Homo-oligomer: A and B are copies of this chain.
Amino acid sequence: MVKTIEWIDGKVRMLDQSRLPREVVYVDCPDYQTVAEGIKRLWIRGAPAIGIAAAMGIALGAQELKAKDFEGFMKGLEPVFNTLLSTRPTAVNIQWAVERTKRLLSGKRGLSAAELKALLIEEANNVLKEDIEVNRTIGRWGARFIKDGDTVITHCNAGSLATGGYGTATGPIRAAVEQGKKIQVIADETRPVLQGCRLTAWELMEDNIPVTLITDNAAGALLRKGEINLAIVGTDRTAANGDVANKIGTYSLAVLCKENGVPFYVAAPLSSIDFSISSGEQIPIEERGPEEVTHIFGCHIAPEGVKVRNLAFDVTPAKYITGIITEKGVFRPEDLHKLNEKDIDLEAIRMKT
């Protein structure tokens, strides 16, 4: 599996995904500002991966601090937090990484600045390791819903590249393959940034998992022909009511699945579930510049000066979603909020295959 991001020699090394599959280039970020730039410019993308990048960016920012005491250290981290939080509004994982760091540090007032710096590097590496473990667990739960011979469609990239490794939406796919199920994947290209084409198809080919590339427009026709058995996608932020924000076009795919009686699953690590908001309507949706639509790899494809609307994400209401695959099991979207309750009997609300 490709290494999306790692902490190496006091720097954050990330694969520049904006150049894939034409070039495989790693960027060594020497400071948190470069990490933030990488998140903004899509060198790294995918909610879990940018959560990891944020944790590593925080650790990197901490190393530069001159503060000697705890208060000064915390104050010094503020601009690091704010810079990272301002990069991309839709994914909840940056916020999750910041809050996790604050929670961790709040119990460590007694440590020296040097100890705090070491702790944040350790924590960033923990976030990475835990993410891969979470994805493997998501994979095991989700694979129960994939039968031998199935064709799975996925949208955008919620694969190894979107995570520390293994992938959220690709987790169940990889697990099913490891279990010996003969399955195939349909990757829609996912305009405008083509993550399905450039990233998902690429990483599945690298791992010899059978994949067919289609345009986003072709998904509906194949669903209607009965050629697709289920859909699994990732999420940038899921609300407590099971509404899912994900890459633009997810809503369309979900509606088309429902219309054709095809189950639609969302692979959502708990880090991407925002229990603080009650509905998807409260999720901020990033709108990006026109160039992603008018240019592809620098090639100008649109009429000069055309007006463009470039929504990066959409919200899929819970009613279109069959199940949400987490590291705790697969749940109906209407049961999702219960995961935030104390003493919940998980087995009672887990979906059975």
Contacts and interface: CB of A to CB of B under 8 A. Distances in A.
Contact of A255 (B210, B256, B297): B256
Contacts of A212: 307-309
A184 to B, nearest CB: 9
Contact of A299 (B205, B249, B299, B315): B299
Interface stretch (A44-52, A72-80, A100-108, A213-221): A213-221
A216 B216 contact: yes
A350 interface: no
A251 interface: yes
A255 B217 contact: no
A85 to B, nearest CB: 24
Interface string A183-223: 00010011110100110011001000011111111111110
| Chain A facing B: main interface SS | mixed
Contact of A301 (B194, B308, B309, B310): B194
Given A306-B211, A308-B213, A221 B314 contact: yes
B218 A248 contact: yes
Interface string A285-323: 000000001101101111111111111001100000000
B214 A308 contact: yes
Given A201-B306, A213-B307, A306-B205, A255 B220 contact: yes
A147 interface: no
B256 A252 contact: yes
Contacts of A211: 306-307
Contacts of A220: 249, 251-252, 255, 314
Contacts of A194: 301
B213 A302 contact: yes
Contacts of A310: 214-215, 218
A224 interface: yes
A323 B213 CA distance: 33
A344 B305 CA distance: 49
Contacts of A255: 220, 255-256, 259
Nearest to A193: B215
Contacts of A221: 248, 251-252, 311, 314-315
Given A198-B301, A211-B307, 13 more contacts: A22-B300, A186-B309, A205-B305, A213-B307, A214-B293, A214-B308, A215-B248, A215-B293, A218-B249, A218-B311, A222-B309, A252-B256, A299-B299
11 contacts: A21-B304, A22-B300, A201-B302, A212-B307, A212-B308, A213-B306, A218-B310, A218-B311, A220-B249, A220-B252, A224-B251
Q: Which 7 A-B pairs have the closest CB atoms?
A: A217-B249, A220-B252, A221-B314, A191-B215, A202-B303, A21-B303, A217-B248
